[in-house]
Amino acid sequence: MANIHAGLGTSHIPLLGRIIDIGDSAKPDWTPVFSGFEFTKQWIQKQAPDVIILVYNDHATTFDMKFIPTFAIGCAEEFKPADEGYGARPVPIVKGAPELAWHLTEQLILNGFDMTVVNEMDVDHGLTVPLSMVFGQVEKWPCRVIPLAVNTVVYPAPTGERCLALGKALRKAIEQFPAELNVQVWGTGGMSHQLLGERAGLINQPWDISFMDRLKDNATELAKISQEQYIRESGTEGSEMVMWLIMRGALNRVKEVHRHYHVPVSNTALGHIIFEEEELP
């Protein structure tokens, strides 16, 4: 049986992908940012997941006003890094896990989550930057990745409650898959930021910290936050944080084993958290 015992949340700041790609991440100026991922790099080697279900949002890269799936799942063998205007990032092709992805699709749809199946999809910084933050510069990604894209760009995005419930349904579906696989769910995006308009540059540190504080034990409370409230308090793109609730929903009782929060780094507050499930007594 496939199993899931851990997950993480992280921002997906494009600038940090670029810093890794040009080999500058060890430079002293960047220490306050990347040192917060040193623990994670060791941790992921010990965890050695076979598959990561990587919850992210496409930033009008593959999906645009022609198609806006609320929840999309990548069922293909592989996904290429997208060209977001400056050429594709020099990172490995993302290898999918089609058998598990189709199984998840079946179970999620039968349980009322009408996933959009995507068989051809270039993946943007929302997916590739978290992989780089955790695995660094590598020849190939050390595990399979199932992209799970959530619309957080165009109103109305799915509610927090829906995202938390999707996480729970994901867990059930993972546990029904017959192969012995160590699976993780990652929630990406956020934290507070607004890229455009009069409030561009907005960062709300107390909001971010309160969100991280409550994620472990009060996710149902966080799930009540509406997209409007995220936008008001944490900026238009702060609403990406709803994707962390999918990760949280996929895990039972957890302990927080690592946290990193840093401002200033970009337009975005950098947030990162790792959860492991508590052993049953």
Residue 267 is a binding residue for ligand DHB (CB under 6 A)? yes
| Least distance between ligand DHB and beta carbon 3 (Å) | 30
Residue carrying structure tokens 């992209």? 147
For 260, the 3-state DSSP assignment is strand
Q: How far is the CB of 36 from ligand DHB (least distance, A)?
A: 16
**Chain residues 123-152 in contact with ligand DHB, contact rule CB under 6 A:** none
CB of 68 to ligand DHB, least distance (A): 16
- Here the tokens at position 47 are 């965890």
Which residues in the 178-237 window bind ligand DHB by CB under 6 A?
Answer: 189, 193, 195, 237
d(CA 36, CA 241): 19
Determine which one of 103, 125, 260, 272 is catalytic.
Answer: 125
Strands 116-118 and 71-74: parallel
Distance CA 89, CA 160 (A): 31
List 40, 194, 239, 268, residue binding ligand DHB (CB under 6 A): 268
Residue 272 near ligand DHB by CB under 6 A? no
Q: Of 32, 176, 30, 201, nearest to 111 (Cα)?
A: 176
Contacts of 152 (CB under 8 A, 6+ apart): 57, 189, 237, 239, 240, 242, 243
12 in contact with ligand DHB (CB under 6 A): yes
Q: Which stretch binds ligand DHB (CB under 6 A): 130-138, 175-183, 214-222, 266-274?
A: 266-274
| Phi/psi of residue 177, nearest 5 degrees | -85, 130
Q: What is the DSSP letter of 7?
A: E
Query: Is 30 a residue that touches ligand DHB (CB under 6 A)?
Result: no
Closer to ligand DHB by Cβ: residue 130 or 249: 130
Residues that bind ligand DHB (CB under 6 A): 12-14, 59, 189, 193, 195, 237, 266-268
Catalytic positions, written as ranges:
125, 193
